[in-house]
Amino acid sequence: MRLFAASLAAALLTVRGQFRMSSSLPVAAVCQMTATPDKEANFSACTRLVEQAKEGGASMVFLPEGFDYIGSSREETLALSESLDGDIITRYTHLARKLDLWLSLGGFHERGHDWKTDRRIYNSHVIINGQGEVVSVYRKAHLFDVELTSKGVSLKESAFTVAGPRLLPPVQTPIGKVGLGICYDLRFPELSSALQRHGAEILTFPSAFTVATGAAHWEVLLRARAIETQCFVLAAAQVGSHHSRRASYGHALAVDPWGGVIGDCGGADVGVTLVQIDLQTLRDIRRDMPVQQHRREKDFYCSLD
C-alpha cells in the first residue's frame, strides 16, 4: 500500500480527536483546510486543526498557503491583507504560546513594505515558535503566472504579489531543520537543493494547488524533491471550493527521504495527518546512498553554458 498503515490510522483518527502517537520521535502535523474570504471562519477552522494536532502529540503544525483567507478577486485579496504585526499573526502567536507548539503558517498575505505607494503584497511563510515568537519569514520567490486555457487555469500572481528577494537558512525546530518554500517553489529543484546544502532535513511546501495541476503533478513533484535531496517533505494543502471561481486539489502529503508517502489527507475533506520524523532514518539513507558526495563541482554543471 502507498500509505503506511500507522500513518493512515493517524490521519483518520486524529481528525476525530481520538489518537495520540506514543513514541520518543518528534511528531509533525500536516493540515488540510478549505479557506474562504471569511477570515474569522478560517481562523476558527485552523484553531481546531491545531488543537487536534496538539491532542495527537504534535510538536509542530503545518498550515497551508492561504490559511488566513483566499479572496474572490484581486481587490478583495488586497483589501483583506495585513502586516506581520496585525491581528491575524498576533492571534497565531498567542495560539502557539498557549499550546506550546511551533507553527508553520504557509502563505500569509503580507502587505508590502511600500504599501502606501505600491498596493501589492508578499506571499509569506511565517514560522512561530512555542513561545509565540516569529522566528522566520520567507517570502515566496517564484510567482504562479500560468495560463492553461485547455484546463481552465488562469492565474497571475505577479499582478498583486511581489516576489521575495532571497532564500532563508533552514530553521532549527523540535522536529529538525526545516527549509521553507511555498507552493510554486516546489517546481524549482534548485531551491530545494540549496536548502539541503545549508542543512535542511525537512522541506516544506504549503500549497493551494489547482485541481488540474495537482492531479497531474502534485505527488510526483513532492516525491521527486524528497528523493533528490534525501529530506522529509511536508506539504500542507488547501482542498475543495473556496468560492465560485477557485478550487484546490487537496492531498496534503508527508513524504519520507526515500520518497515514500507516509501521510495523505485525501482529496475531499478537511483534516490532519500525523507523521513521526525519524532523523536517524534520514541519516542512514544519506550514508548508504551518499548522493551529495557524488555531486561534481559547480563548474561541471555549468560547462554547457
- Residue in the block written with cell 526545516: 178
- Residue in the block written with cell 502517537: 21
Choosing from 46, 54, 82, 183, the catalytic residue is: 183
Query: Annotated catalytic, 46?
Result: no
Give CA torsion, residues 230, 200, 12, 220, to 10 deg: -50
Cell (9 digits) for 97: 504560546
Choosing from 31, 46, 110, 140, the catalytic residue is: 140
For β-strands 253-255 and 232-235, DSSP reports them as antiparallel
Q: Of 84, 31, 79, 72, nearest to 54 (Cα)? A: 31
Contact 208, 183 (CB under 8 A): yes
Query: Annotated catalytic, 177?
Result: no
Q: Which residues pair with 33 in a beta bridge?
A: 238
Contact 109, 87 (CB under 8 A): no
Query: Annotated catalytic, 98?
Result: no
Beta strands in the chain (DSSP E): 27-33, 60-63, 102-111, 121-128, 134-139, 145-148, 153-156, 171-173, 176-180, 202-204, 232-235, 237-243, 246-249, 253-255, 261-264, 271-276
* Tally of CB atoms within 10 A around 169: 14
Choosing from 31, 46, 65, 231, the catalytic residue is: 65
Reported as type and span, the H/E element at residue 277 is none
- Indicate which residues carry an active-site annotation: 65, 140, 183
